[in-house]
Each structure stands twice: as structure tokens, then as C-alpha cells.
A and B are shown apart, each in its own frame.
Chain A
């Protein structure tokens, strides 16, 4: 196959060639930048939480009956709820905690190693009970989990503490320091105490109150508004009051989450009807948290598919026109001895050359667009591998799009050359 005639023929059709070159170039630039944005959204979406997300169901009890304003009543109701939830067939574990994974937030505080003058460290903080670790499916790596006694004892102590004004010293901090046992995430342990032992160590908050580490857990990841996704402190306490309601997380046996979820509301309202009960699977919570990213991923994917389709159809169209225009020349070439395969090769090679020119320009455009997006909307940077894949994809698409019109060209009969159209 000689390149000379093909290149000269292309030179005589600058506009058509130029259009394909620009189309292919823009397509490559858009496709690789879209894939980069999709990949960025996906990395957040597939980050594991460390919890058994699929099996967890969230239950919120929001009381309106005034009886819930009474401490004894609210405590008792919470105990009854947990017992009722545990009794549901297919339930593996239950916890009473305000912690809700994948909600995009929660509660946080500032702590530092006790006695240090260092920076306060921001961390998530939640109450927990003896069932929290099992329900989430996280592992105690050092020390121990809370016991029921821990929860009951600290619940009484914390309620006492919240009642009266605390006597303050000259620094406006309470004179008497309150100490409680906590379980922390391993990431927070490392942040606060480095690689050394963590068990038995103390943390203090801005009131000077103390938190003694009795255990550490792994893995923990809960995205938060501030970059503290892996830091968390759990302290033993029940979570049930008139103002904030009660929240339970229920872990179902694998595959049972749907059935368990369906039974929850009726079961709890049967225990106490002076409230509303809201049930949501953790999968739904997660879907809500990632809704915006999901829209980006879906829309960007749609654009990529449509773009490759439009460009391919464009190549089909332009090549078809070019075949139609050159019908007589092709007939003449065939009459002079060119085989079908020669005609096919001529068109495929011409289009391959055109696409390749487009791709060279496209790589430049892709990086230019990426620089723009990075500075304007802090998008992610392009990866070289991705650009290479994009080039391969468009080469394939270009060849496939050329194939049908090129085959039609190859079928043109030599006799056409003799005919006066």
C-alpha cells in the first residue's frame, strides 16, 4: 500500500479531514476528562466503612407522649425496645447509640493527651453500649469492649453531672475533673500517642475532663464535614431522651436485612405507641449521602457514551459521502487491477491517519482542558494510562465506524468506470 496517493487525496479534502480531526480531538479531550471526574467520584463511593453496611438497619424512635419527659420512663422504654429488637428473628445484634454511619456528619469534640500543652485534636465522639462493636462489625484490637455495667454506671454519672452547675476555678474550668472510660479508633490512638501503647492512656477535653482508653477498634471510617473521618471516641451511655429521641442500630443475619427492616416499626409501636418510629437501611442512608456523586457518575457516563456514538456516526457519514463522491474513481482503480482488499485498505488507512491526527491534537486538548478544570473547579489530574486507554478506545471506534462504508466502497463494481453516470 502506498501512502503517497492517500496523503495527496487527503490534501484535496482538507475540510472533511479537518472536521474529523477536530471532532476526534474534542471527543478524546472530553472523554478522558469525564472519566477522570467519574473515577474521582467513585473512589469516595467505594471507600469501605469497616462496618457491615449491608446488614445494618437504623431505627429512630421520636417520642411525643409527655411521659417520655420522665427519666425513669425513658430509660425503661429504651430497655424494652432493645429487648424487643433482639427478639426479632434474624436479628444478630442491637445497639443503642446516636452514631449513624454514612450520614455525612455526627458529633465532634476536641481532645488532647492529658497533661500535654499540645494542639487540641478534633475527633468524632459518640455514645455506645456493649453491643455497638458487634452491631457495626468492627474489631476490638486492644483492650476490651464496654460491659452492660459500664453503660448503666456512666449513664447515672453523666445524668448527675448534667443536672447541677459545676463549681468553676479561676480558669473558668470545672474544679473537679470527671473521668470516664472510652474506646477509641486505632487511627485516633496513633494520632494522639504515636506508635506506643495506648491502653490506659488519658485524653482531656477543654473542660479538663478525662477520658481513659480501655480499648481500641479497627477499622473505622465515617466521612465527616471536617477531615476527621477515621478518628472517633466512644463512651458508654444510653441514648434516649424526650428531646433527642432514641436511636438503635440493628444488625441482621446476612441476607435478612430486608425482612428484619419490614418487621421493626410494628414491633416497636407495639411496645410503646406514644411515639413515631422511622426505619431506614444503612444502604439507603449511604445512597442519600452519595446521591450527588451518583448523579455526576451517571450523567458523565451518559455523556461519554453519547459522545463516542455521535463521533462514530459522524465518521460513518463523512466516509459514506467520500465513498459516494469517489465512486467513479474507485471503479476505475478496480478496472485497472486493484483488488477489493486494496480499496478497503485505502479507506481504512485514510481514516486511521485522520483519526490519529485527531488523537495527537486531542491529547494536547485533553491536558489543556484538564489544566482548566483543575484550576477552576479543583478537578483531579489526568493519568497517563487513562489518556492511552482513551486513544486506544477512539482508534477502535474510528476503525469500526469506517468499516461499513469502506466495505461498501470495496464492493463497487469495476464496470462503473465505463458507465456515464
Chain B
């Protein structure tokens, strides 16, 4: 019976192809626009690390100026990053099961001269816990161990792209990379790690993709590495000149993450931070009121407005657009079905039940919905490719920022079916209530 209904529906669509393309095209446009806008927003808004987003915390402490709060939209918030000396101080805690301070820098990587010119490359300085803490996938090898943190030992982890560039994609574990004036041994190569949002550092360029190179944090001092991200300072300049002053001063430039798997751990760590700040206050630092923050990934992304509000507005608009398309579809189907009244009259007279007529027409509506939805999804993929390309030629060095994932594909298909049903139910009900006699008479 379903196959029969489907065949009738196809025949009906073929009969008037101009009208049919307007009907299908309208719903395709609605699905294309709503899917594209929703997927754009979802790419940034989705949980970047669902397995651990509940137990990873971003650490902030208010070491800012006594005269006025940290500048920003909300004066009750502490600085977005912490100072080097405070990172060293709180990393002494053994409460977090994993923890890492981190920052990014621009350093020169010297490839084999046959491969290419030296290139300034983004490097993330972090501790060994970084990789297990963020569930970082490895293609070859692994991260480094705690001993390498302490040394620090000259080891690096490369992204897939950087490994492609330097070693032609071969298993490079154990091989050497020259960075600035030192040789580093490769311990691991990442395996396609491309979160849309670089959630571990959203203080700047949150959608720029992960850094090509990772190296032990403690090279910061011997190599005098300055941050390539934001650095916020206040008050008198550090009393020590040069690079040591950067380490000793009140400049905030480090991102700090801890993994606290239980509420007990979280409470203990909160107490630890409080004690740390109170201790520092005795030494004349932390002149502002106690204001420590432990923020989960999702909340931190909201606070930093990783999803621009315009994207949310655009998503709302696109869903309303789909609603207009559905209304439009309803009108066109109504007209189309009613024009067919004599035919339905004959079928009814020949014994078709109202339910049969109703189902037959709903099937036709859903066929329109699904066909329109599939075309719409294809259009949405094209649209996303266009935005990605535009972004790449303007400001993001990547082409895979906006993606349609499984959730979005399901949403898109669901919306198509829903639109078909909402638009089709009334017209189908109207035609199944047609009295056969009138139409037979006119014939």
C-alpha cells in the first residue's frame, strides 16, 4: 500500500513539473537556510570535549589592580589569564589529577633546507598532563612524561599537518626538529585533532585551530619565550629588567586548566586556591577582594562569547524562514489537492475510505518534504563550503571550521519531515472530506 501511495505521489509530482519544482524548491530553500545557519552556530556552540567537559576547570584568580577592576564587559570578573608566578605557585598542589598551565608563542622552526625555508610557527608550551587531560588523539607515539617536564627535556609533539610538512607524513617519532637554537626530539604526532573551537585557549583567536607544535612549558625561561597571545598588565613595571621581569611581574598571560573528577576534589581545590591567595595577600599581592573562579569548559565558552550573538539571531531568523516556507507549502498543496477534487470524488465513489485518501496525500506531502530536505541539505553543504572558503581567504587559516555533523544532519532531516507533515496535514484532511457526489455530478 505504501509503495502504491508513493507511486501515486510521484505521478502527481510529475504531472505539473513547474508547480512541483516551486513546491519542492520552496521547502529545499527553507531547509537549506535553516540547516546552514543552525550548523554554523552548532559548530561553535557544541561541547568540544563531551567526555570530560564536566570535570575540566579553567582557573582564574583576581591579582589585578586595587584601583579598578579588570577591564572588560563585566567588572565582577577576574582577569582572563593568570601570572607566571601564580601558575608556578598553584601547580604545586597535588589535588588535581591532571593540571597544566599553558600559552602559545611564535617560534622559528628550521626544516631540512631541502624541505623549505625556516618558518615562524605557533608553538604551545604546556605540561605533559595536557595530552591525557584533553583526550588528545595520537597517530604516532605519545606525549612526553613528567620527567621531561622537569628537565626540561628537549621533546616535542607535532600536529598531523606539521609532520606532513617536516617529514612528509612519515612516522617521525625519535627524529629531530630544530626550533630556534635547539634540537628537539619528536615523541608523538597528533591524529586529526581539529576541534572547531580551540577550547583550551579561547582568550584569543578561539577558532584558529590547534598549534602545529607542542613543547614542555619549562623551556619558557632558558629560551626566553614570550607569549604570542594576549598579555594584560597593570601597575608599575616589574622591578627586574628584561625577560626575568616578565616572569616576576604582574602580567597575566597564562591559561591554567585542572582536572577535578569529584566534587570533593573540587571543594578541596577551591580551599587550596583560597589559602594560596590569602597567603599571597600577606606578602602584599592580590590587593583586590578574593575572587577565584573555577569554570567548566561550556560556561567558559559562554562567558567569552565564543558563539557570536549574531549567529544565534541568524539561527532564529532561519527557523522563521523555514516556517514561512512551510506556510507557503501548505497553501500550494491545498490548491493542488483541491484542484484534484473530481478525481478524488471518483476514487471515493469506487470505495476508497477517507483514511486511504488522507494517507495517500500525507505520503505525497512527506515525499515533497524528504526530496526538498535532501536537496536542501546538499545546498546547505554548499553554503557551508562557501563560508569556510570565505573564512579561509579572510582570517582563519583553516577550511574545516563549519561542519555539518550527525546531529545537524538528523535535525535537518527531522525538520524536513516536520515541515512536510505540518504543511500537508491540513490539505490532506480537507481533501479526504470531499463529498464524492458533487464532483461526480459535474463530471
Report whether chain A binds chain B: yes
- Residues of chain A touching chain B, judged by Cβ–Cβ distance below 8 Å, are 15-16, 19-20, 22-23, 26-27, 29-30, 33-34, 37, 41, 62, 64, 66, 110, 119-120, 122, 162-166, 168, 172-174, 206-207, 226, 243, 276, 287-289, 291-292, 294-296, 299-300, 302-303, 306-307, 310-311, 313-314, 317-318, 320-322, 324-325, 369, 372-373, 376-379, 421
- Contact call B309/A64, Cβ cutoff below 8 A: no
Chain B contacts of A243 at CB under 8 A?
224, 226
24 contacts across the A-B interface (CB closer than 8 A)? A15-B426, A16-B335, A19-B330, A19-B331, A19-B334, A29-B320, A30-B321, A64-B108, A66-B181, A110-B234, A165-B240, A172-B239, A243-B224, A291-B395, A300-B314, A303-B33, A306-B33, A314-B332, A317-B328, A320-B335, A321-B334, A321-B338, A325-B338, A421-B442
- Contact call B331/A20, Cβ cutoff below 8 A: yes
- Contact call A288/B394, Cβ cutoff below 8 A: yes
- Within the complex, the shortest CB–CB distance from A13 to chain B, in Å, comes to 10
- Contact call A318/B313, Cβ cutoff below 8 A: no
- Contact call B239/A165, Cβ cutoff below 8 A: yes
Q: A16-B334, A379-B313 are in contact. Are A310 and B26 (CB under 8 A)?
A: yes
- Within the complex, the shortest CB–CB distance from B239 to chain A, in Å, comes to 6
- Within the complex, the shortest CB–CB distance from A333 to chain B, in Å, comes to 20
- Within the complex, the shortest CB–CB distance from A145 to chain B, in Å, comes to 28
Q: A310-B26, A373-B313 are in contact. Are A26 and B320 (CB under 8 A)?
A: yes
Cα distance A26–B331 in the bound complex, in angstroms = 15
Cα distance A150–B387 in the bound complex, in angstroms = 48
Q: How large is the interface on B (under 10, 10 to 19, 20 to 34, 35 or more residues)?
A: 35 or more
Chain A contacts of B313 at CB under 8 A?
37, 373, 376-377, 379
- Contact call B387/A295, Cβ cutoff below 8 A: yes
- Contact call B241/A34, Cβ cutoff below 8 A: no
* SS of A interface (majority): helix
Chain A contacts of B67 at CB under 8 A?
120
- Within the complex, the shortest CB–CB distance from A395 to chain B, in Å, comes to 17
B242 at interface, CB cutoff 8 A:
yes
- Contact call A317/B33, Cβ cutoff below 8 A: no
Cα distance A306–B37 in the bound complex, in angstroms = 14
- Within the complex, the shortest CB–CB distance from B247 to chain A, in Å, comes to 14
- Contact call B442/A317, Cβ cutoff below 8 A: no
Cα distance A317–B26 in the bound complex, in angstroms = 12
Known: A120-B68, A162-B242, A318-B332. 16 other contacts (CB 8 A): A19-B331, A64-B108, A64-B120, A122-B71, A164-B241, A287-B394, A287-B395, A288-B395, A291-B394, A292-B308, A294-B390, A306-B33, A318-B331, A321-B336, A324-B335, A377-B310
- Contact call B316/A207, Cβ cutoff below 8 A: no
- Beta-carbon nearest neighbor of B332 in chain A: A317
| Residue from B325, B335, B396, B442 whose CB has the most chain A CB atoms within 10 Å | B335
- Residues of chain B touching chain A, judged by Cβ–Cβ distance below 8 Å, are 19, 22, 26, 29-30, 33, 36-37, 67-68, 71-72, 108, 110, 117-120, 181, 224, 226, 234-237, 239-242, 308-310, 312-314, 316-318, 320-321, 323-325, 327-328, 330-332, 334-336, 338-339, 387, 390-391, 394-396, 426, 430, 442
Cα distance A166–B108 in the bound complex, in angstroms = 32
- Contact call B236/A207, Cβ cutoff below 8 A: yes
A-B contact count (CB 8 A): 160
Cα distance A295–B120 in the bound complex, in angstroms = 30
Instruction: Identify which of B242, B320, B396, B426 contacts A30 (C-beta below 8 A).
Output: B320
Instruction: Identify which of B241, B327, B396 contacts A19 (C-beta below 8 A).
Output: B327
Chain A contacts of B120 at CB under 8 A?
62, 64, 276
Cα distance A122–B396 in the bound complex, in angstroms = 29
Cα distance A286–B295 in the bound complex, in angstroms = 34
Chain A contacts of B224 at CB under 8 A?
243
- Beta-carbon nearest neighbor of B327 in chain A: A23
Instruction: Identify which of A64, A295, A372 contacts B390 (C-beta below 8 A).
Output: A295
Instruction: Identify which of B332, B391, B430 contacts A291 (C-beta below 8 A).
Output: B391
Instruction: Identify which of B310, B324, B395 contacts A37 (C-beta below 8 A).
Output: B310
Chain B contacts of A26 at CB under 8 A?
320, 323-324, 327
Cα distance A16–B337 in the bound complex, in angstroms = 13
Chain B contacts of A64 at CB under 8 A?
108, 110, 118, 120
Instruction: Identify which of B72, B110, B318, B339 contacts A303 (C-beta below 8 A).
Output: B318
- Within the complex, the shortest CB–CB distance from A177 to chain B, in Å, comes to 12
Chain A contacts of B235 at CB under 8 A?
206
Closest 8 CB pairs of A and B: A321-B335, A377-B309, A288-B395, A291-B394, A314-B328, A19-B331, A64-B118, A64-B108
- Beta-carbon nearest neighbor of B333 in chain A: A317
Q: A206-B234, A320-B335 are in contact. Are A276 and B394 (CB under 8 A)?
A: no
- Beta-carbon nearest neighbor of B108 in chain A: A64
Q: A288-B395, A313-B26 are in contact. Are A16 and B71 (CB under 8 A)?
A: no
Cα distance A162–B237 in the bound complex, in angstroms = 11
- Within the complex, the shortest CB–CB distance from B244 to chain A, in Å, comes to 10
- Within the complex, the shortest CB–CB distance from A44 to chain B, in Å, comes to 12
Chain B contacts of A173 at CB under 8 A?
236
- Contact call A276/B324, Cβ cutoff below 8 A: no
- Within the complex, the shortest CB–CB distance from B280 to chain A, in Å, comes to 16
Cα distance A110–B70 in the bound complex, in angstroms = 12
Cα distance A37–B28 in the bound complex, in angstroms = 25
Cα distance A66–B178 in the bound complex, in angstroms = 14
